[in-house]
Chains A and B, each alone.
Chain A
Amino acid sequence: MSDSHDNPTSRDTRRDFLRGAGEILAVTWVAGNWPAIAAAQAHAASAASSGRAALVFLSAADAADVESIAAQIVPSDDTPGAREAGALYFIDRSMRTWLAGRAGDFRAGLRDFQTRFAAAHSGTAFASADDTTQRAFLTANEASEFFNSVRMLTLVGLFALPKYGGNRDAIGWRLIGFEDQHVFAPPFGYYDRDYPGFKAR
């Protein structure tokens, strides 16, 4: 991009300017890849009525693998992660409700993932592998459609309304400091607290 001004990346700066050269999972990626079906079904009702921990699509073994992937995407450390938030249950129910039209692709992606992991690790399941092994395998598969589907669904569940099942006890919102309120009043943050009022220059 021709630019008569200094490019911030070329300046001596303490700060980290990242050029947006690489493709990322931007909004347009969401647009092009979001695999939903037409009539969104009663996902919320399903999530709400089934209580905790009832799988409706995945087998227990498949669920363990999917949950382990989700737990690598947003790990549990000093605060809860995707596992505690119930990302697995959001994903599982999605495949029976509003993503039912893509459930076959999801299952095929999972099978392929499991087959390749087992082949490279003497037949063990992903869920039973240690943390380092799991991370190495996911790093090698970062670009795969299946991994990105799980990543996307993990994050959607984690930050959607808790009624959808993947943001249990508002774990996702608490992680990012988002308060679920319908009414706020100024000051909203640190920098507008002592604002002296607008003065035109």
Chain B
Amino acid sequence: MAKYRDSETVDFLIVGSGAAGGVLARELARAGFTVIIMEQGHKLQPQDFEHDELKYWLRNGMTNDPAFSPQTFRKTPTDVAQKTRPGSWNPLWYARTVGGSSVHFTANFWRFHPVDFEERSRLGSIGGTGFADWPISYAELEPYYTKVDWEIGVSGLAGAYPNEPHRSKGYPMPPMPVKSSGVLLERGAQRLGLHPFPAPLAIASVPYRGRAACVHCGLCMGFGCEVRAKSSALFTVIPEAEASGRCELRTRSYVVRVATDARGRVSGVNYFDPEKRSRFQAARAVILCANGAETPRLLLMSAGPLFPYGLANSSGLVGKYLMFNQGAGAFGVFEHELNEYKSVQATRLVLDFYDSDPKRGFYGGGGIDARIGPNPIIWALEAPPGSPSWGKSFKNHLRSFPRTMLASGHTTTLPVETNSVSLDPEVKDAWGMPAIRCTHKDHPDDLQFAGWLQQRAAEIIDAAGAQRIWLEPVKDANVSVHLLGTCRMGNDPQSSVVDRYHRAHDVPNLFICDGSSFVTSGRGQPTMTIQALAFRAAEHIAQFARRGEI
């Protein structure tokens, strides 16, 4: 791994080592540029990961812990934001470690469909929202989706879904072995005339590029992979970036300000090193890949005389249009054992309800997958609504765990301007920096569609023969792991933060590429698209640099 001094001016300084930052670092370092990645978290190794639900799900074992990184939450701008209680989840919850949330994610890797990029043109405007087309099309992004499939490692079955968007190449690995939940979802959906198919996952179903195949331990969602089968940035692009010899990964280095010069160009970043010393690293260009929560926060914290409302914020939209992905599921109990706690979350997927249908009377689209759902602790805490939550019959309910599956709906969230990341006026983190204040209330259509799709999920498992079905509550989201839309992409500098190449409209040597770039939410499962955007951005940024256009 390369090592640079603070006084050396590197070509690119990337903030965040997650799904996007890892891709950009690898691509730019391989293209011959000098790169530093700043990551606030530690670097964990496979042997550091444990099968410990209490640690990761209830004690923030690798996520942003409110004890030192607090956030506040309010539903609307007129409410007083409440600080997250120590030990609970921050509203914008992410893995604070090398590889970012790609370390603990579920690894569902859906491509967006063409409609996601041009939905505003197809459907028209939606009141009270910033619903808009993307400045790029599916066709423009397709080669990069394929690059993700092969460079990152995605398993799946091309051609299995009749309405699959065009793909220029098949998957590099076969789909994961089907689970009982997948068989049942497939059976029920086919009985209803739907088109279930093997779920694409960023998990190695066979040994791939030096990584082992999945051993079906069952702990993907919220856990790190102990055998490196999960195609997280930690096991793919990060080590490959380091192997280039031009990229330094600087861990436990917390960037708190993007510095600018008198001309309004970025000159480097101020950061805290592991000993909490304030330092400055010079760079010719900065790329923010800190996720849809931390990226806008960093821009807002970088306000200065030339940028009074935050860096790159002449539009006033930095931090606005925060989107989560709604969704609600139906649990089903079957006669025989499924043992869903084994292997990956989802092995079958239904996307027949992907497109929004104006005839329903509300906007929304989504997908339904068959999955484990929560691990035992969280599963036990969530007793079915309306049934006993303790006592003898509750104990019998607990016994149904191995016969239970979740048909989980994943749906759209509309971009609403008041849903946002801003700086809390009072609460500070352990470094004395302003905490994120999250404001979020779902658009009514988001909740209506989540409920509508949940009914379809219930019908599918009913058709599959479920003996007992219960529904998760459909309600306003106040915690999310999908952090989207807060520095949206667009052609018009007045209505977007970055251009179609992820360059900040206001600052020529500042680029932003992560979930914050999204214009619409998609139907869930954003990481595939984040990484496709990152491959595309890397190619363009390298060209700009070579041509002296940065």
Q: Which residues of A contact B (CB under 8 A)?
A: 1-5, 7-8, 13, 15-40, 72-75, 77, 81, 98, 101, 135, 138, 142, 151-152, 155-156, 158-161, 164, 172-173, 175-186, 188-192, 195, 198, 200-201
A-B contact pairs, 14 of them (CB 8 A): A8-B458, A16-B468, A18-B469, A25-B389, A31-B478, A38-B68, A74-B390, A142-B390, A155-B377, A158-B380, A176-B380, A186-B177, A192-B178, A198-B197
CA of A192 to CA of B385, assembled, Å = 29
CA of A8 to CA of B466, assembled, Å = 13
**Cβ contact within 8 Å between A182 and B51:** yes
**Inter-chain contacts of B51 with A (CB < 8 A):** 161, 180, 182
**Cβ contact within 8 Å between B67 and A37:** yes
Provided the pairs A25-B381, A151-B390 are in contact, do residues A178 and B455 lie with their beta carbons within 8 angstroms?
no
**Cβ contact within 8 Å between A178 and B376:** yes
**Cβ contact within 8 Å between B392 and A77:** yes
Is B395's beta carbon under 8 Å from chain A?
A: yes
Stretch at the interface among B82-90, B135-143, B506-514: B82-90
* 1/0 contact string of B180-197 vs chain A (CB within 8 Å): 101110100010000101
**Inter-chain contacts of B452 with A (CB < 8 A):** 1, 3, 5
Question: How many A-B residue pairs lie within 8 Å, measured between CB atoms?
Answer: 259
In the assembled complex, the CB of A38 is this many whole angstroms from the nearest CB of chain B, namely: 3
**Cβ contact within 8 Å between A98 and B59:** yes
**Cβ contact within 8 Å between A74 and B384:** no
**Cβ contact within 8 Å between A192 and B179:** yes
**Cβ contact within 8 Å between A101 and B86:** yes
CA of A184 to CA of B269, assembled, Å = 46
**Inter-chain contacts of A180 with B (CB < 8 A):** 51
- Tell me the nearest residue of chain A to B479, going by C-beta: A31
Residue A184 contacts which of B218, B328, B390, B473 (CB distance < 8 angstroms)? B218
In the assembled complex, the CB of A93 is this many whole angstroms from the nearest CB of chain B, namely: 12
**Inter-chain contacts of B391 with A (CB < 8 A):** 72-73, 75, 135
- Tell me the nearest residue of chain A to B472, going by C-beta: A20
- Tell me the nearest residue of chain B to A185, going by C-beta: B216
**Cβ contact within 8 Å between B89 and A31:** yes
Instruction: Add 7 more A-B contacts to A30-B378, A188-B179, A189-B180 (CB < 8 A).
Output: A20-B473, A24-B384, A30-B381, A178-B401, A183-B216, A189-B340, A190-B337
In the assembled complex, the CB of A169 is this many whole angstroms from the nearest CB of chain B, namely: 16
* 1/0 contact string of B394-429 vs chain A (CB within 8 Å): 110011011000000000000000000000000000
Residue B58 contacts which of A20, A24, A30, A176 (CB distance < 8 angstroms)? A30
**Inter-chain contacts of A20 with B (CB < 8 A):** 328, 385, 470-474
**Cβ contact within 8 Å between A198 and B86:** no
Among A3, A161, A181, A200, max chain B CB count under 10 A is at: A200
